[in-house]
Amino acid sequence: MEFDLLLRKRRNVYGFQDKAVPDAILHKILENARHVPSAGFTQDFDLVVVRDPAIKRKLAEAGREQEYAGYSGIVRGFIEKAPVVVVPCGNKPRFESKYGSPAEKNSRIPWWLTDSAFSSIILILSAFQEGMAASFIGAIEEKMVAESLNLPADGSIIPLAIIPIGYKHKEERRFDPEMRKKLKTLRQSTNQIHWERWSE
C-alpha cells in the first residue's frame, strides 16, 4: 500500500478478532518500530510486548477499557481480547547515559517520550501495512501499567501508551458515515500549516 493511502486509511480500531498474529509478522512490525529517529541515536525507548491474558486484563483496566463500552461500534473488551498489546516506554537512563543526568536540565523536551511516540506511530502503520489494525490508548493509569509490567520502581522507564494490535473485528465501526463526513469537514477546515511565519 502506498504511504499516503496508508496514512489516510489508518485509524484507531476498537475491536479485534480472536485470531493470533503470526510470529513472523509480529517480529517484522516490531523491528520496523525500532528503526526510527532517536535523540543522538540513544534509542531511548523500549517496547514491552504482551500476549499473556492475565497481564492484558490488567492493562485493559489501566487503559480504562470499560469507559469505551458506551460508544457505538466498540467491541467489548477490545484491549484484553487483542491478541497482542504493545506498551512503548521511554527509557530515560539510556538518554542520560549519553547526555548526562539529570536529563531535565540537559534536554529541551523529554526526548525519551518523543522517541517512544515515533516508535508508536511506525508500529501502528506497520500493523496496517500487514493487514491488521491497532489503536493508541494514551489515557492510562501509569502506575498500574508500570506495576503490571514490572517496570523499575524508580520510574526511570515511563510507559507512554497501550497499543492493542490484531485483525479488525467485523463488527467494529468507530464512526457512522455521518460522523465520518463531519470529521472530514473538520480536518479540511482546520488550519495547521503555516508558511514562512505564524499567522491566523
Question: Taking the model in full, what pTM does it have?
Answer: 0.88
One-letter identity of residue 163: I
Q: What is the pLDDT of residue 57?
A: 96
How far is it, in rounded angstroms, from Cα 31 to Cα 25?
10
Distance (Å) of CA 69 to CA 131, 143, 163 = 25, 23, 17
Q: What is the pLDDT of residue 11?
A: 85
Helical (H) or strand (E) element with 164: strand 163-166
Residue 155 CB contacts under 8 Å (≥ 6 apart), including other chains: 146
Q: What is the pLDDT of residue 179?
A: 57
Q: Tell me the sheet residues that pair with 90.
A: 45, 158
Fold of 3-175: NADH Oxidase (3.40.109)
Spatial contact of 57 and 76, defined as CB atoms under 8 Å apart: no
What cell was used for 9? 486509511
Q: Tell me the sheet residues that pair with 12.
A: 134
What cell was used for 73? 461500534
At residue 95, the 3 state secondary structure works out as helix
Q: Would you list the domain boundaries of the chain? A: 3-175
Q: What is the pLDDT of residue 178?
A: 67
What cell was used for 191? 488550519
Residues of the chain with confidence (pLDDT) below 70: 174-184, 186-189, 200
Q: What is the pLDDT of residue 174?
A: 62
Reply yes or no: is the peptide bond before residue 102 cis, omega within 30 of 0. Answer: yes
Q: How many residues does the chain have?
A: 200
